[in-house]
Structure 1
Amino acid sequence: MTRDRTIRLDRQSPSDPAGTIRVERAGALVTLTIDRPDKGNALTLAMYRALADAVTEADADPGVRAIVLTGTGQDFCAGNDLDDFRAHPGTALTLSSPVLEFHKAIRHSHTVLVAAVDGAAVGSGATALLHFDLVYATRRSHLQYAFVDQGVVPDAAASLLLPQRLGPQRAAQLLLLGARVSAAQAAQLGLVSEVFESREHLDTRVAEQVATLLAAPEGALNATRALLRPTGNDPLLRMSAETATSARLLSTTNSSMRNISRAGGPTPAP
């Protein structure tokens, strides 16, 4: 049975209508597509809410065994829509924020999570990937953890998970300097599973890998996935601490925010 629906968001930011989250169901697979290409697929609070609801709904359906997240246009996700966040200061950085609810939803998810990245994954678009089981990217893609320049700290427990994966020095380079990481570099660091020449090759490989996952014994797959999750410090607690810290920073400083362009930006990571 196949279902295909689109969540169209009525909320608007001051400068541009909010985007669309497409939710497509094909058998045991749910595909979530961020559809706001004119804004680099930057996420508004309403879009975060739609993503959180879609992941939670898929998780509650025993017939769903895999979720794929992707984007349209030239970017995977340019991070947060800062105009929308400024328009809703009492919502954007709270413990009940849709941002935090989405990050918790993917952290809690017992469904296999696969990301298909084509283009820039910046800020929250990059940190969310830390919670995906498999991340596939095109060669033209890059990751960039652009938070300090925005006057805030990382989110999605990146301040915990990146040092665990890369060690403190490499994590500091990415988080303190906002260094751009090419898809090839990300693969070497273990942040990306595989890199492909084009979107067509990416989509083909993702479809093949999802088919393999859906054909695997469900119990063994889920148990292995649970064992692969980091133990020790709780990423959910770190998410809350990061959110509270960013809210405090923004309430006590008036630092101007620098936009990170897709063409320019900080020096690439070595």
Structure 2
Amino acid sequence: MTLDSTVGIERPSASDSTGEIRVDRAGALVTLTVNRPHKGNALTLAMYRALADAVAEADADPGVRVIVLTGAGQDFCSGNDLDDFLAHPGTALTLSSPVLEFQKAVLHTKTILVAAVDGSAVGSGATALLHFDLVYATRRSHLQYAFVDRGVVPDAAASLLLPERLGPQRAAQLLLLGERLSAVQAAHLGLVTEVLDNRERLDARVAEQVAVLLAAPAAALKATHTLLRPAGADPVLRMSAEAATSARLLGTADTAARITSRAVGPLSAP
């Protein structure tokens, strides 16, 4: 099956061994696939670096007009691999970390960002979507801002952007309680653009909408994308404050114990 039959981008299967971040280029479209399905596509620092570099490279290429982010296997992205973060305490959440570099890359990119979500989008896998222009998801998918329960705080400026979008009480419900949102609920809140019945329909719809974007006048497309970016408070400052707070909390006994106790499945938040 292809994401877009007109350009022939193949979605990798769970058995692919081509790398944990796969980059496919077809004309003006770049597709980034998080390819670590056996870990729920939990992100390591190296994967963040690869994603940041891929977004920056695509954004610097005037021939690239759309970036699609998706995940291999049964999950879109289950968040961060905290084992990896704890193994690199000096770099995981510093101001120059790959995490912040990726967040800033998606915040500042001039290229249209489209997410194709199938399965879990948890922690950082959910907050990253706040910076995408269009988010398509399957009916079985869900979003969950699972941070507080892990002993850390939200990232990607979610503590700024969610209250702006949803109001303070609804944002508090999601961020403080970590409640799971179905794809349909997320769509009702404006966090998901459209919900599709299954992965096949998801791929077809994303391909269809990407084709519309690629056919649009490039200058008008980029200008409109820029105008849609957040105004007012600086999201980068909030990203930095969130990272500094989580870095401090990761060094506490309570957070370490919470992470250690989650021994079943991938450790995948924030």
Same fold flag (TM > 0.5): yes
The alignment's C-alpha RMSD in Å is 2.1
Corresponding residue for residue 150 of structure 1: 150
CA contact (8 A) 1:3 1:24 kept: no
Change beyond 3 A, Cα 1:220–1:232 = same
Query: Is residue 54 from structure 1 mapped to residue 54 from structure 2 by the alignment?
Result: yes
Shift of 1:3: 11
Corresponding residue for residue 236 of structure 2: 236
Matched residue of 1:254: which SS? helix
Q: What one-letter code is carried by the residue in structure 2 that aligns with 1:113?
A: L
Distance 2:79 2:22 in 1: 18
1:242-253 alignment, distance < 5 Å: 242-253=242-253
Corresponding residue for residue 185 of structure 1: 185
Q: Report Cα offsets for 1:37-65 as digits up to 9, x if no partner.
A: 11000011000000000000000100000
Matched residue of 2:176: which SS? helix
Q: Report Cα offsets for 1:197-236 as digits up to 9, x if no partner.
A: 0100000000000000010011111111111122100111
Q: Report Cα offsets for 1:223-251 as digits up to 9, x if no partner.
A: 11111122100111110011111112223
| Identical aligned residues as a percent | 78
Distance 1:261 1:219 in 2: 48
1:66-145 alignment, distance < 5 Å: 66-145=66-145
For normalisation by structure 2, the TM-score amounts to 0.88
Matched residue of 1:67: which SS? strand
Moved more, 242-251 or 27-36: 242-251
Moved more, 111-120 or 217-226: 217-226
Distance 1:111 1:31 in 2: 12
Which of structures 1 and 2 has the larger relative contact order (alpha carbons within 8 angstroms, sep 6+)? Answer: 2
Q: Report Cα offsets for 1:57-111 as digits up to 9, x if no partner.
A: 0001000000000001010000001111111111111111101110000001000
Moved more, 66-75 or 229-238: 229-238
Shift of 1:159: 0.2
Corresponding residue for residue 258 of structure 2: 257
Shift of 1:166: 0.4
Distance 2:114 2:80 in 1: 21
Structure 2 unmatched runs, 5+: 1-6, 10-16, 266-270
Q: What one-letter code is carried by the residue in structure 2 that aligns with 1:63?
A: G
Distance 1:77 1:227 in 2: 28
Query: Is residue 42 from structure 1 mapped to residue 42 from structure 2 by the alignment?
Result: yes
Matched residue of 1:110: which SS? coil
Q: What one-letter code is carried by the residue in structure 2 that aligns with 1:227?
A: L
Structure 1 unmatched runs, 5+: 5-16, 263-270
- Tell me how many residue pairs correspond in the alignment: 250
Distance 1:196 1:245 in 2: 37
Corresponding residue for residue 175 of structure 1: 175
Change beyond 3 A, Cα 1:111–1:246 = same
For normalisation by structure 1, the TM-score amounts to 0.88
Distance 1:37 1:230 in 2: 32
Matched residue of 1:161: which SS? helix
Q: What one-letter code is carried by the residue in structure 2 that aligns with 1:117?
A: V
Shift of 1:252: 4.1
Change beyond 3 A, Cα 1:143–1:98 = same
Distance 1:70 1:261 in 2: 24
Distance 1:109 1:103 in 2: 10
